[in-house]
Amino acid sequence: MTEKIVLNMITQRSIEEGVAMEKGKTTPEYFEACSVVEMNPEDMKALGIWRNTNVRVTSEVGSVIVKAIEPTQYCPPGLAHIRQGVWANQVVPPRTQSTGVPQYSGFPVTIEPVPSEKRKGALELVQGAVGLWRGGK
Amino acid sequence: MPKIVTDVGCPYCGASCDDLEILVSDDGKKILEVYNACAIGNEVFHHASSPDRLKRPRLRQPDGTYQEISYDEAVDYTAKVLLKAKKPLIYGFGSTNCEAMSAVGRVAEKSGAVLDNCASICHGPSFLAIFDNGYPSCTLGEVKNRADVVVFWGCNPMHAHPRHTSRYSIFPRGFFTEKGQRQRKMISIDPRETETAKLADIHLMVQQGHDYELFDAFRTVLRGHDIPDEVAGIRKEAILEAAGIMKNARFGMIFFGMGCTHTDGRNHNVDIAISLTRDLNTVAKYSIMAMRGHYNIAGPGQVWSWQFGFPYCIDLTKGTHAHMNPGETSSIDLAMRDEVDAFINIGTDAGAHFPIDAVKHLRKHPFITIDPNICMASEISDLHIPVAVVGVEEAGVVYRMDNVPIQFKKVVDPPEGVISDEQLFDRVYLRICELTETEPTWIPAKGHAKAPVTAGQ
Ligand code: SF4
């Protein structure tokens, strides 16, 4: 599969993320709540994937592997949503329009299927970014 | 016998519910049950009781592992990092009490730091719009008692503030709203059909990033002018219908959230929302409110405005005056320009919530996390100082999203030896005074206990 699709990304709160975050960001609950991208089934079809396939999401600043799921809250075609948190912030552009607030919502991303690749855990992503990841648990 | 503690405040979202009841064990140490809270609030209290809470600060060793140190050593380390840095940044404060926000003011001023809070990446643009255009707002009590039209624009309280609709805005019966939900019209404006949108009478699925145009269309039709057949992905008839409902309110309310401030337009979206509120006041009674995210994120705006004249992005490095200029003195911009040379993360998790590039820049320099729990920031820090959980193990004043101050209670003791944010900042302040051989200045409120006890220590 080599198909790619360009979608408009937003990253916002969800109750799943809120509950899991209070349990702890290193828990499996937080991983499952936040390492997903919600996209319309039409867009999945255009991409040639079934739901629950891992995809690579790439923005102007970086990329992250997340699982594509059907929206829990309806997302129109063309729009994608990664819940706020560690995975979202791998691709959120830090540009602020001189207000201090990054572009958390409304930035273009390219999505491509990577069914054989694994999602990284929160610690691996954040510690990895700053050279502190030692692997394992 | 386990005992029930009543009127407990919930230290999570900006709804700052203060009607929780907590069942505490015999010895007053463990939380057994949580009543009235939503799923998130429930988790906050149960998690505080977890046995794997940290009890001592941890300092990163040359081999990358953490080693426990004493609070005295942690205080000394923090004071020295702040003094050594030319432009340290102290950021966070979404999840602590006003007492800590006030205490950090002394530390920041003394050490010449930049002081910023989570509004910087949330409702900062709302502040900018409010400075320019005013804030015709009210309390959530007024919403409950009066509002018969409620608009949620770019916010999803069903997920971010789970009890907002049941406690304040949609379901409760109030003095003039005795029929509760049946008497209220609810409008949701959101690019997704969120749970909030599903609950609404009308959902306008605005094209993402085109909020400004839709606000403008509302203003145009309210002033009696024509609009194109479609604006921001919404048909003209739908806009006219919603505008008709808004106009016929006895008391209308506009709540707005990150959908406005996190995307293109930012402060301009909020600016025009305020102008729309003003327009609506020529035909009805209207009010507007920012859906603040955390239970006391309105707090620093209050406390620091009083201390320094500004609510956020406060640069105290000049030593002579406070300077605020978002875009220049905002945390993300400072980080991306590599302008700060030390970072303290307190009562938030910049490791998880900043764009990763900003985290990478900050991590080039000394990085300290002050937080009760293990979080992303704590796991990349040089020093992690655990503190008591405000609202669970430490009492204090918090400001709800409508800027109403509420006294939160302490329900159980913190793990043995663990201190509060406020105590920590006071100790860092005293240590900085010692190191610089200067006298501490406490300017306490009238009759405040702090001055006589600690002055000159
Ligand atoms: S709505 Fe917010 S403040 Fe109220 S219980 Fe839930 S998380 Fe806590």
Note the ipTM here.
0.96
- B272 and B336 share a domain? no
Is residue B445, in this structure, part of any structural domain at all?
Answer: no
| Confidence category of residue B444, pLDDT binned at 50, 70, 90 | low
Give the residue, B29 or B280, on which the prediction is more confident.
B280
A116-137 pLDDT per residue, tens: 999 999 999 999 999 999 886 4
Q: Cα(B48) to centroid of ligand 1, in Å? A: 15
- B155 and B267 share a domain? yes
Average pLDDT for runs of 10 along chain A of length 137: 87 92 92 96 96 97 98 96 97 97 98 97 96 80
The token pair that represents B49 in the structure block: 């009781």
Is residue B448, in this structure, part of any structural domain at all?
Answer: no
Q: Spell B376-386 as b/e; 16+ CB within 10 A means b.
A: bbbbbbbbbbb
Mutate to test the interface with B, among A10, A11, A12, A40 (most CBs of B within 10 A): A12
Q: Does A93 touch chain B (CB under 8 A)?
A: yes
Read off the CATH number of the domain in which B183 is found.
3.40.228.10
What total number of domains does chain B contain? 3
pLDDT of residue A3: 86
- B280 and B331 share a domain? no
Does residue B450 have a pLDDT over 70?
Answer: no
CB A79 within 8 A of CB A38: no
Q: In terms of residue numbers, what domain contains B36?
A: 3-48
Q: Give the CATH fold of the A5-129 domain.
A: Barwin-like endoglucanases (2.40.40)
Spatial CA neighbour of A80 closest among A1, A10, A5: A10
- B233 and B100 share a domain? no
Does residue B392 have a pLDDT over 90?
Answer: yes
Is residue B86, in this structure, part of any structural domain at all?
Answer: yes
Pairing of strands A105-113, A5-10: antiparallel
Q: Does B155 touch chain A (CB under 8 A)?
A: no
First to last CA, chain A: 33
Give the residue, B52 or B129, on which the prediction is more confident.
B129
- Check if B13 has its Cβ closer than 6 Å to any atom of ligand 1: yes
Mean pLDDT of chain B: 95
The C-alpha atoms of residue A51 and residue A73 are separated, in whole angstroms, by 15
How buried is B209 (Cβ within 10 angstroms: 0-12 exposed, 13-18 middle, 19+ buried)?
Answer: buried
Read off the CATH number of the domain in which B335 is found.
3.40.50.740
B326-340 pLDDT per residue, tens: 999 999 999 999 999
Is residue B90, in this structure, part of any structural domain at all?
Answer: yes
Is residue B20, in this structure, part of any structural domain at all?
Answer: yes
Does residue B17 have a pLDDT over 90?
Answer: yes
The predicted model scores a pTM of: 0.95
The C-alpha atoms of residue B280 and residue B271 are separated, in whole angstroms, by 14
DSSP single-letter state for residue B186:
E
Contact between chains at A86 and B208 (C-beta distance less than 8 A) = no
Smallest CA separation from ligand 1 atom 2, residue:
B13
pLDDT of residue B334: 98
Is residue B451, in this structure, part of any structural domain at all?
Answer: no
Quick one: average pLDDT of B374-385? Answer: 97
The C-alpha atoms of residue B37 and residue A19 are separated, in whole angstroms, by 12
Quick one: average pLDDT of B201-212? Answer: 98
Pairing of strands B58-60, B383-385: antiparallel
Contact between chains at B121 and A85 (C-beta distance less than 8 A) = no
- B215 and B312 share a domain? no
pLDDT of residue B456: 44
- B317 and B368 share a domain? yes
| Confidence category of residue B448, pLDDT binned at 50, 70, 90 | low
pLDDT of residue B453: 52
- B68 and B44 share a domain? no
Residues 50-69 of A with CB under 8 A from B: 61-62
- B377 and B317 share a domain? yes
Quick one: average pLDDT of B106-111? Answer: 96
Distant-in-sequence, close-in-space partners of A60: CB < 8 Å, separation ≥ 6: A93, A107, A108
- B370 and B281 share a domain? no
Q: Cα(B69) to centroid of ligand 1, in Å? A: 35
pLDDT of residue B449: 63
Query: In B, which residues are within 8 Å of A26 by CB distance?
Result: 374, 379
pLDDT of residue B389: 96
CB B287 within 8 A of CB B403: no
Q: Cα(B10) to centroid of ligand 1, in Å? A: 6
Is residue B356, in this structure, part of any structural domain at all?
Answer: yes
- B278 and B133 share a domain? yes
B117-130 pLDDT per residue, tens: 999 999 999 999 99
Query: In A, which residues are within 8 Å of B330 by CB distance?
Result: 96, 99-101
The tokens 């919530």 sit on which residue?
B353
Mutate to test the interface with A, among B353, B361, B384, B390 (most CBs of A within 10 A): B353
Query: In B, which residues are within 8 Å of A86 by CB distance?
Result: 351-352, 376
B227-279 pLDDT per residue, tens: 999 999 999 999 999 999 999 999 999 999 999 999 999 999 999 999 999 99
Q: Cα(B290) to centroid of ligand 1, in Å? A: 16
Per the rule left: phi > 0, alpha: psi between -120 and 50, beta: everything else, B417 is: left
pLDDT of residue B52: 82
pLDDT of residue A110: 98
B279-325 pLDDT per residue, tens: 999 999 999 999 999 999 999 999 999 999 999 999 999 999 999 99
- B268 and B342 share a domain? no
Is residue B442, in this structure, part of any structural domain at all?
Answer: no
Of B263, B264, B375, the CB nearest to A25: B375
- B158 and B267 share a domain? yes
Spatial CA neighbour of B192 closest among A82, A69, A79, A66: A79
Domain ranges of chain A: 5-129
pLDDT of residue B51: 82
pLDDT of residue B455: 43
